[in-house]
Amino acid sequence: MPGKTRSTAVATTAPAQPRTPKPRADALRNRERIVTAAREMFVEFGPDVPLDEVARRAGVGNATLYRNFPDRAALVHEVVLAVTSRTTDRAEEATAEEADPFAALTRFVHAAADERIGALCPMLSGGFDKDHPELLAERRRLEEAVEGLVARAMSAGRLRTDIAVGDVLVALSQLTRPLPGIACPNIDRFTHRHIQLFLDGLEAPARSVLPGTAATLEDLRRRA
Amino acid sequence: MPGKTRSTAVATTAPAQPRTPKPRADALRNRERIVTAAREMFVEFGPDVPLDEVARRAGVGNATLYRNFPDRAALVHEVVLAVTSRTTDRAEEATAEEADPFAALTRFVHAAADERIGALCPMLSGGFDKDHPELLAERRRLEEAVEGLVARAMSAGRLRTDIAVGDVLVALSQLTRPLPGIACPNIDRFTHRHIQLFLDGLEAPARSVLPGTAATLEDLRRRA
Amino acid sequence: MPGKTRSTAVATTAPAQPRTPKPRADALRNRERIVTAAREMFVEFGPDVPLDEVARRAGVGNATLYRNFPDRAALVHEVVLAVTSRTTDRAEEATAEEADPFAALTRFVHAAADERIGALCPMLSGGFDKDHPELLAERRRLEEAVEGLVARAMSAGRLRTDIAVGDVLVALSQLTRPLPGIACPNIDRFTHRHIQLFLDGLEAPARSVLPGTAATLEDLRRRA
Amino acid sequence: MPGKTRSTAVATTAPAQPRTPKPRADALRNRERIVTAAREMFVEFGPDVPLDEVARRAGVGNATLYRNFPDRAALVHEVVLAVTSRTTDRAEEATAEEADPFAALTRFVHAAADERIGALCPMLSGGFDKDHPELLAERRRLEEAVEGLVARAMSAGRLRTDIAVGDVLVALSQLTRPLPGIACPNIDRFTHRHIQLFLDGLEAPARSVLPGTAATLEDLRRRA
DNA sequence: CATGAATGAGTGTTCATTCAT
DNA sequence: AATGAATGAACACTCATTCAT
């Protein structure tokens, strides 16, 4: 069921709240522009970009940004949510549209790179709540989707069996992680190569014995 | 000839220099402590740590740090140099001490991870001179050493032939790149797994056709 | 046409500029207060006063100062512009209102002292662009005005002919130059005496042969 | 009796002090070099030059400077003393060697400019004791010498009678005051012209009525 | 509701002065 | 006695966040 992209975060707690009269069209557009600008700039310059710059790129005043996201953590939260959601969409698409299980995994991995999943890494640093329920839910949705891809590929005997979804997602994130201040087009030239090499290493039969133990996404959260 | 670690930049090679009277023991020790502290903290918190914190960790006043390194760029420069040098040493050790070519490469890659080669990535962002002659020389030394490892493994038919030294070093750096604000021991639990998966993907015979073209270290420099 | 005081640099000449929406009243007032405070403090303590102190005297936060003037040079620039402009106004007033040519020059010279023209001297030292077009234009306006005063006095045979406008302005600036850290009222007690002595020396007929050659304002700029 | 230059400040209180064994030749030379360097750099860059730079120009370590002059005030004190003393020497020379009283005054004034008497102005700002007995004595010596020049020129009817020694010295100092950061040779091209104009204004008969009252050097001290 | 302006706290860097060799 | 190194306090400037229009 692909394409089930999350809607705005604040909107949906109770649908029948008379005190939030009307989310005014342009206000929503502003909010969206801010998130988009933030995602781009976090990718390009790291998660420490001056928020005033984000506001400028979004074409709004800085105070508008702060009205929508009370502090940097809130904005990071939203961007993480958005990237996770879009990545999950890619996983679901790959699941739905690729017949071959390993081809599905491969397609997802490269698509996730294009979604800048690597940008999540540096964003997880700062003091923002990685255990926020909303985030947890989204992460679980992602994990489930990728879990499906992994399980199917394993069942088909195409994937080595000593790895888990956490391994895929962490390595993938690291390999696609942007270098702050570096224009992205250039780095892409290499990342898809490296992702592919990594995929080749994931393929069955295993060519080595891996140290440590396979990782889930929750392991990752606990790492912090 | 392993272990040829670079000594400090200022250290006089010729003892008979009348104009550099005496490099005073404690001053050198201080300089060394600063570089060490900086390396640790750059790895742990990223290259934007307050220099005052670095000074505190090194146990010196902030001005002492500035006496030795006029600005942040100079300190980053020195740390990059140090990490590069130590990594090269590991490459030379592996070359000298491992008979099997692929085992040598494997040993080097894991050793480089322990040297935190990934810490170089975020350090390359800021405004510091990536083309400094000293750095260039050291980078060339590293490239040559790894080039040797790669060539030998290829000749032995153990390494796929559509990759180059740049692919190894970039992917390696990315995979071992620290998450700012995250204690390292935890991350290590995973990185060596992922490095190994990547190595498995490098092994001959190639399991896929790679997109793009193989990369040298100079390609990387030019990416910026 | 006296009294044509320069207005603020940003002030829009054409009222129909859609992209500079509204110069907000209080912001302009703040800007003006900063310039005034800076002028006073530069005169009193020299051009090296902590900008935080200037901000405090202006009754604004330091960041407000930096918002209006990105660095010290920008603030100096504005103050130099203001002092030059006000001095020019005095010259034009004297020209317009005094019938006797030498009386006009005399009046201007004493008025320029009261405008603290001497404060310009120390401000010309630091690294700020003395050739900025805006400054150049204003300096030319001043030079022209004083040139008029000098020429008229010379034509009337009241001024010795071996001097030029640069001599007047430089000597005047030097004689009225403030002593950093000294309250101004005291120094005034003497400066007008010395200015007068200098004027007496300027009067025709010349009582000596001057060394060197007469100076224009551009000579002065080139001195730096 | 010209040439009676003051000897070093600290040396001569009592010649037979057993606890100050021997002022070691090189130590004295160092002290002298420091004062000379300081005089030059105060003139060239103002009295705020980093003392480390002064030490470097003097060719000694910074600590040597601090051994001789416990703080900046002490160094300024010494330089003021030296300049005052040398200026006095010029006054005494002019008195002794010039027959014509006004020629003597003229010669002195130009000579004082060459001694950079103007450098005293900015040095009087900082927190240093202008009433130090040593300084007071030297200032009195200068005042007496110039008083003599002025009195003689007045008696001869060559000097207007509504001025005093303070007027001469203050205006002279101001007119020859260096612009920090500006090479001196250039400024000289103008100063001697302006001094001459001022002298012409001093000449009898007076061409105007001066405001305020004539000033002594002690008036100047009190200004602060 | 949206904005530009204001703010204070934080960081990089310099310098006068003291300390250890 | 002389030196290079060390230090903390000061200042310039930036940025997240709040306020007034």
Mean pLDDT on B14-23: 47
* Of residues C91 and B14, more confidently modeled: C91
Q: Which residue among B186, B190, B211 places its CB closest to the CB of A192?
A: B211
Protein-to-nucleotide distance from the CA of A64 to the C1' of F18, whole angstroms: 12
Asked if B72 and B126 touch (Cβ cutoff 8 Å), the reply is: yes
CA distance A146 to chain B (A): 17
How many angstroms separate the CA atoms of A84 and B217, rounded? 32
Q: Using CA coordinates, name the residue in chain C closest to D126.
A: C181
Which of these ranges, A209-218, C72-81, C166-175, has the smallest mean pLDDT?
A209-218
Structure tokens at B157: 């038919």
DSSP letter string over B87-108?
HHHHHHHHHHH-SSHHHHHHHH
Residue to test with chain C: of D168, D174, D189, most C Cβ within 10 A = D174
Q: Which of A5, A3, A4 is nearest to A32 (CA)?
A: A5
pLDDT of residue D3: 44
Protein-to-nucleotide distance from the CA of A36 to the C1' of E3, whole angstroms: 20
Chains C and D touch each other (3 or more Cβ pairs < 8 A)? yes
Q: Which residue among B170, B193, B200 places its CB closest to the CB of A211?
A: B193
Protein-to-nucleotide distance from the CA of B64 to the C1' of F5, whole angstroms: 8
Mean pLDDT on B77-87: 94
Residue closest to sugar C1' of F9 by CA: B63
pLDDT of residue A1: 44
Beta-strand (E) ranges in A172-223? Answer: none
3-class SS letters over C151-215: HHHHHCCCECCCCCHHHHHHHHHHHCCCCCCCCHHHHHHHHHHHHHHHHHHHECCCCCCCCCCCC
Which of these ranges, A15-19, A68-72, B151-155, has the smallest mean pLDDT?
A15-19
Residue closest to sugar C1' of E19 by CA: D63
Protein-to-nucleotide distance from the CA of D68 to the C1' of F3, whole angstroms: 14
* pLDDT bracket for residue C128 (50, 70, 90): confident
* pLDDT bracket for residue A8 (50, 70, 90): very low
* pLDDT bracket for residue D224 (50, 70, 90): very low
Domain ranges in chain A are 72-223
Q: Is nucleic acid strand F under 7 Å from C24's C-beta?
A: yes
Strand partners of residue B203? B159
How many angstroms separate the CA atoms of D199 and D148, rounded? 17
Partners of D185 on chain C (C-beta within 8 Å) are none
**B31: nt with nearest C1' to CA:** F5
To the nearest whole percent, how much of chain D has pLDDT over 70?
82
Residue closest to sugar C1' of E4 by CA: A61
Using the predicted structure, report yes or no on whether residue C215 has a pLDDT greater than 90.
no
Q: Give the highest mean pLDDT range of A192-206, C31-45, C64-78.
A: A192-206
* Tens-digit pLDDT profile for residues A101-110: 999 999 999 9
Q: Give the highest mean pLDDT range of A39-53, B26-40, B147-161, C203-217.
A: B147-161
Chains near A (3 or more Cβ pairs under 8 Å): B
How many angstroms separate the CA atoms of D15 and C71, rounded? 55
Cβ-based contacts (< 7 Å) between C 32-71 and strand F = 48-52, 62-63, 66, 70-71
Q: Using CA coordinates, name the residue in chain D closest to C160.
A: D197
Mean pLDDT on D184-206: 87
**Chain E bases near protein CB atoms (7 A cut-off):** 1-21
Asked if B123 and B80 touch (Cβ cutoff 8 Å), the reply is: yes
Using the predicted structure, report yes or no on whether residue A184 has a pLDDT greater than 70.
no
Mean pLDDT on A18-27: 60
Q: Is A210 on the interface with B (CB under 8 A)?
A: yes
Alpha carbon distances (Å) from C107 to A46, C65, C90: 62, 35, 9
To the nearest whole percent, how much of chain B has pLDDT over 90?
54
* Of residues B55 and C20, more confidently modeled: B55
Using the predicted structure, report yes or no on whether residue A147 has a pLDDT greater than 50.
yes
Q: Is nucleic acid strand F under 7 Å from B191's C-beta?
A: no
Q: Which CATH superfamily is domain D72-223 in?
A: Tetracycline Repressor, domain 2 (1.10.357.10)
Using the predicted structure, report yes or no on whether residue B215 has a pLDDT greater than 80.
no
Using the predicted structure, report yes or no on whether residue D2 has a pLDDT greater than 70.
no
Protein-to-nucleotide distance from the CA of B207 to the C1' of E14, whole angstroms: 59
**D51: nt with nearest C1' to CA:** E16
Cβ-based contacts (< 7 Å) between D 30-69 and strand E = 48-52, 62-63, 66
pLDDT of residue B183: 52
Partners of B111 on chain A (C-beta within 8 Å) are none
pLDDT of residue A214: 86
**B73-223, what's its fold?**
Tetracycline Repressor; domain 2 (1.10.357)
Chains near D (3 or more Cβ pairs under 8 Å): C
Q: Which residue among D175, D190, D201 places its CB closest to the CB of C215?
A: D190
Mean pLDDT on D190-217: 93
Residue closest to sugar C1' of E7 by CA: C61
pLDDT of residue B17: 42
Q: Using CA coordinates, name the residue in chain A closest to B119.
A: A179
How many angstroms separate the CA atoms of A152 and A217, rounded? 18
Q: Beta-carbon neighbour count of residue C156 at 10 Å?
A: 12
pLDDT of residue A21: 53
pLDDT of residue A105: 98
* pLDDT bracket for residue D63 (50, 70, 90): very high
Which of these ranges, A139-148, A211-220, B179-188, D52-61, has the smallest mean pLDDT?
B179-188
Partners of B193 on chain A (C-beta within 8 Å) are 163, 167, 210-212, 215
Contact D180 C122 (CB under 8 A): yes
CA distance C191 to chain D (A): 8
* Of residues B26 and B78, more confidently modeled: B78
Mean pLDDT on A188-194: 87
* pLDDT bracket for residue A94 (50, 70, 90): very high
To the nearest whole percent, how much of chain D has pLDDT over 90?
63
pLDDT of residue A129: 81
Using the predicted structure, report yes or no on whether residue B13 has a pLDDT greater than 60.
no
pLDDT of residue D209: 97
Residue that the structure tokens 């001053």 belong to: B27
What is chain D's mean pLDDT, rounded? 85
To the nearest whole percent, how much of chain A has pLDDT over 90?
59
Protein-to-nucleotide distance from the CA of B12 to the C1' of E18, whole angstroms: 29
* pLDDT bracket for residue D191 (50, 70, 90): very high
Q: Is nucleic acid strand F under 7 Å from A45's C-beta?
A: no
Protein-to-nucleotide distance from the CA of D40 to the C1' of F12, whole angstroms: 28
Using the predicted structure, report yes or no on whether residue C82 has a pLDDT greater than 60.
yes
pLDDT of residue B222: 59
Q: How many CA atoms lie within 13 A of D140 on its CB side?
A: 7
CA dihedral for A48, A52, A57, A62, sign (positive or negative): positive
pLDDT of residue B21: 52
Residue to test with chain B: of A190, A192, A198, A221, most B Cβ within 10 A = A190
pLDDT of residue A111: 97
To the nearest whole percent, how much of chain A has pLDDT over 70?
81
Using the predicted structure, report yes or no on whether residue C195 has a pLDDT greater than 90.
yes
* Tens-digit pLDDT profile for residues D96-140: 999 999 999 999 999 999 999 999 888 877 667 888 899 989 999
Structure tokens at A195: 């992702």
Residue closest to sugar C1' of F15 by CA: A50
**Chain F bases near protein CB atoms (7 A cut-off):** 1-21
* Of residues C195 and D5, more confidently modeled: C195
* pLDDT bracket for residue B176 (50, 70, 90): very high
Residue closest to sugar C1' of E15 by CA: D50
* pLDDT bracket for residue C100 (50, 70, 90): very high
pLDDT of residue D17: 47
DSSP, collapsed to helix, strand or coil, labels residue D203 as strand
Mean pLDDT on A81-102: 96
Mean pLDDT on B71-85: 92
Protein-to-nucleotide distance from the CA of B136 to the C1' of E12, whole angstroms: 27
Interface of D with C in 22-51 (CB under 8 A): 46, 48
Mean pLDDT on B211-223: 72
How many angstroms separate the CA atoms of A171 and B201, rounded? 13
pLDDT of residue B26: 78
How many angstroms separate the CA atoms of A172 and B115, rounded? 22
Using the predicted structure, report yes or no on whether residue A7 has a pLDDT greater than 60.
no
How many angstroms separate the CA atoms of A72 and A54, rounded? 11
Q: Which amino acid is at A183?
A: A
Which of these ranges, B38-52, C181-195, D98-112, has the smallest mean pLDDT?
C181-195
Using the predicted structure, report yes or no on whether residue B142 has a pLDDT greater than 90.
yes
pLDDT of residue D13: 38
Contact A194 B167 (CB under 8 A): yes
pLDDT of residue D181: 66
Chains near B (3 or more Cβ pairs under 8 Å): A
Mean pLDDT on D33-56: 91
Interface of D with C in 65-104 (CB under 8 A): none
